[in-house]
Structure 1
């Protein structure tokens, strides 16, 4: 008896999610709650943890929970999501083991000028060691960023 195996094609969902997005990778020596506090106080943002979109992955017979912080710009459709890339020794995106956080901007056009301004402000935050722009092509496990 042949077993029919169905696979869900998620490529269209992934492509739609990453339309009009910009992604930054951040290396810092600061814990996630302290880093968000710095972002909120030094940059005038309002990042808040959102447990509803927390990323839950099962690897090695264990569950890993990657926190996601969210900020919606007032009077704009632009949303900012800050993903914690490390939880209990496991990485959300293993291809970026050197990155502590991933900052995704979506739902509105992000100009190069705006992106450069964000990168410059991030580099001035205490404990931030590296800020780099990531292209969608570099991400092997895009589905892990979708909530």
Structure 2
């Protein structure tokens, strides 16, 4: 008997309380985190425990994830690097350098709009857009 993991249901549950921003910023991930930390007074840190590993064409690709949990709230920010060595975490969004997942407490649209506006002020940022769940074909790639 073979058991099959229902990834679609898992993805729906994972993204139930989440917002995803796509960012075009051709700068190094640690440098981008530094800018975000300065701008928002966050403390993004690389979390190697949730780093995403994908194997394609018998090669392994590693996508770092930076994490910041807001104190005294149930709100966590995850910053994913969308590409590594020619492969993409979300191939349908090849043009995006970073994916910012905001997960937890119910987040108001005004808060997201304010964040997008603030991110756009960072030197090197060319585009910031909110991605809707329907547009993301490979949601399971973001689940850690």
Q: Same fold (TM over 0.5)?
A: yes
Q: Matched residue of 1:131: which SS?
A: strand
User: Structure 1 residue 35 and structure 2 residue 32: aligned?
Assistant: yes
Q: Distance in 2 between matches of 1:101 and 1:75?
A: 26
Q: Matched residue of 2:126: which SS?
A: strand
Deviation at 1:8, TM superposition (A): 2.0
Q: Distance in 1 between matches of 2:19 and 2:89?
A: 18
1:1-80 matches, within 5 Å, as 6-80=3-77
Corresponding pairs, count? 144
1:1-58, CA deviations, whole angstroms, 9 ceiling, x for partnerless residues?
xxx6543222221111111110000000211010001111122111100000000000
Q: Distance in 2 between matches of 1:89 and 1:42?
A: 30
TM-score normalised per structure 1:
0.94
User: Structure 1 residue 127 and structure 2 residue 124: aligned?
Assistant: yes
Deviating 4+ runs (over 6 angstroms): none
- Runs (5+) with no aligned partner, structure 2: none
Q: Distance in 2 between matches of 1:8 and 1:68?
A: 24
What is aligned with 1:111? 108
Q: Matched residue of 1:127: which SS?
A: coil
Deviation at 1:131, TM superposition (A): 0.1
Q: Matched residue of 1:8: which SS?
A: coil
- Runs (5+) with no aligned partner, structure 1: none
What's the Cα RMSD here? 1.0
Q: Distance in 2 between matches of 1:12 and 1:141?
A: 13
Q: Distance in 2 between matches of 1:85 and 1:12?
A: 23
